[in-house]
Amino acid sequence: MSLEERAKATAKNIEGKVQEAVGNATGDPEDQAEGNLKQAEAGARHTKEDVKDKAKEIVDRA
């Protein structure tokens, strides 16, 4: 598990949530969309790390 990658993903998720909230507050659909995109990217990064962790766990058991 790469804590650095997970931290980056969490930071990206927070950044996306803030940007989406700003877009909601200002009525800017571009900020809303970019915020959602950043959150999706963060989710993908977390999923990638989960897969890597599971693969390592399987290899370690073998």
- Using CA atoms, how far apart are residues 48 and 62, in angstroms rounded to an integer? 21
What is the per-residue DSSP string for the chain?
A: --HHHHHHHHHHHHHHHHHHHHHHHHT-HHHHHHHHHHHHHHHHHHHHHHHHHHHHHHHHH-
What is the structure's pLDDT at 5? Answer: 92
pLDDT (tens digit per residue) in 27-51: 999 999 999 999 999 999 999 999 9
pLDDT > 90 in the chain, percent: 94
What is the structure's pLDDT at 2? Answer: 84
What is the structure's pLDDT at 1? Answer: 55
